[in-house]
Amino acid sequence: MVIFIISIFIGCAVFYGLKQILSIAAKMRSEGKVYMAITKNDKSKKIKDIILPTFFRLADTLGKYLVKIKNKKFIDYIERLKKLFKLSGEKYAHFNAYQFFVLQIFAGAAGFLFSMFFISSSIVICFIFAGLGFGIVLLQLKEECKKRKNLILRQLPETADLLSVMLEAGSDFFGAISKTAEILQGPLSQELSNCSAKIALGYDRKKALFEIADACDAQEVTFFIKTINMALESGAGMADTLKKLGMQIRQRHQSLAEKKAQEAPVKILIPLILFIFPTIFIVIFGPIVINLIRSGGF
């Protein structure tokens, strides 16, 4: 039991460490600092400002060689990574899929060495930790995509209401999109702002709207965009359409929340059985067992 608890704490520490490294990597890439690694001789620089950029430069170099691999499964995995980068928004937009795969390999090697020196030298356990290190990096990327998707879905009803109000006030639809993007803050407002900029440059309006759905990868957003395009083509009242859309989305969110609330008692059984019940048994029966051992009852 003690080993199990220690393993959980170690796993959490490793996950947190890799999460911080990925966050720093995303920030450095967005600010263009990856290639500033060993060009400065300022001794007052922190370790992360010297080692991590060098680390990512190495990932960039190795990633260029992976492009030559033509294995179908590997190419499919790279395509999935590219899709995840697209869904993650601006945070990981500067990453290259091949370089990210190299970072996964580095994380797996770090897990292997960590297990060898601190946990167990058993080759099976070392490979288990290597797999965990490799997978945690991908898990963090998926978690970022999920977080962004939830923010978009949460912002969607407000966006529909705000667009409806602006249309009722006399604004045209694409002007309302531009103003909504300025007022709201979040990933959906960023996509609306990109859509408005594309349309201003002469991009096809229908295609620009559908690209919002592709960048969000959510059924509700796709339905939202399809309904808007149908209303634009048919000339239906856009304000009323958006009002009804906002109501439908809120009702859907309410039903999903009720479903999750009903599932909560079932999901809580696992932590209860694994963590809470054993602790209660130890607290209640532990002193009794100790007293019996001391008195020679066993």
Instruction: Choose between 52 and 264: higher pLDDT.
Output: 264
Same domain, 35 and 90: yes
Q: Among the three residues 94, 113, 146, which one is the final residue of a domain in this structure?
A: 146
Q: Tell whether 102 is covered by a domain.
A: yes
- Going by pLDDT thresholds of 50, 70 and 90, the confidence category of residue 45 is very low
Same domain, 131 and 164: no
Q: Tell whether 265 is covered by a domain.
A: no
State the average pLDDT for the chain: 76
Alpha carbon 133 to chain centroid, angstroms: 17
pLDDT at 236: 67
Same domain, 114 and 60: yes
Q: Are 176 and 247 in contact (CB under 8 A)?
A: no
Secondary structure in 3-state letters for the chain: CHHHHHHHHHHHHHHHHHHHHHHHHHHHHHHCCHHHCCCCCCCCCCHHHHHHHHHHHHHHHHHHHHCCCCCHHHHHHHHHHHHHHHHCCCCCCCCCHHHHHHHHHHHHHHHHHHHHHHHCCCHHHHHHHHHHHHHHHHHHHHHHHHHHHHHHHHHHHHHHHHHHHHHHCCCCHHHHHHHHHHHCCCHHHHHHHHHHHHHHCCCCHHHHHHHHHHHHCCHHHHHHHHHHHHHHHHCCCHHHHHHHHHHHHHHHHHHHHHHHHHHHHHHCHHHHHHHHHHHHHHHHHHHHHHHHHHCCCC
Same domain, 227 and 155: yes
Lowest mean pLDDT segment, chosen from 42-56, 139-153, 180-194, 232-246: 42-56
Task: Give the domain CATH number at 207.
Answer: 1.20.81.30
Same domain, 120 and 43: yes
Query: Does residue 16 surpass a pLDDT of 80?
Result: no
Query: Does residue 214 surpass a pLDDT of 70?
Result: yes
Question: Which domain, by its residues, includes 100?
Answer: 6-146
Mean pLDDT on 61-84: 80
b/e sequence 140-165, b meaning 16+ C-beta within 10 Å: bbeebbeebbeebbebbbbbbbbbbe
CA gap 183, 180 in Å, rounded: 5
Mean pLDDT on 236-250: 80
pLDDT at 20: 58
Same domain, 129 and 173: no
Q: Are 57 and 34 in contact (CB under 8 A)?
A: yes
Same domain, 34 and 155: no
Question: How crowded is residue 216: how many other Cβ atoms within 10 Å of its Cβ?
Answer: 24
Interacting residues of 224 by C-beta distance below 8 A, sequence separation 6+: 156, 160, 213, 245, 249
Same domain, 25 and 37: yes
Q: Tell whether 288 is covered by a domain.
A: no
Q: Tell whether 277 is covered by a domain.
A: no
Q: Are 34 and 28 in contact (CB under 8 A)?
A: yes
Quote the radius of gyration of the chain (alpha carbons, Å).
26
Q: Tell whether 70 is covered by a domain.
A: yes
pLDDT at 40: 42
- Going by pLDDT thresholds of 50, 70 and 90, the confidence category of residue 17 is low
Same domain, 138 and 171: no
Q: Tell whether 194 is covered by a domain.
A: yes
Same domain, 155 and 85: no
- Going by pLDDT thresholds of 50, 70 and 90, the confidence category of residue 162 is confident
Mean pLDDT on 267-279: 81
pLDDT at 38: 37
Mean pLDDT on 252-275: 82
Same domain, 60 and 116: yes
Instruction: Choose between 23 and 65: higher pLDDT.
Output: 65
Same domain, 23 and 46: yes
Copy the structure tokens of residue 100: 């990210």
pLDDT at 42: 45
Q: Among the three residues 107, 130, 146, which one is the final residue of a domain in this structure?
A: 146
Q: Tell whether 283 is covered by a domain.
A: no
- Going by pLDDT thresholds of 50, 70 and 90, the confidence category of residue 53 is low
The total number of structural domains in the chain stands at 2
Query: Does residue 105 surpass a pLDDT of 80?
Result: yes
Query: Does residue 149 surpass a pLDDT of 80?
Result: yes
pLDDT at 24: 57
Q: Among the three residues 119, 146, 173, which one is the final residue of a domain in this structure?
A: 146
Q: Tell whether 271 is covered by a domain.
A: no
Mean pLDDT on 223-245: 80
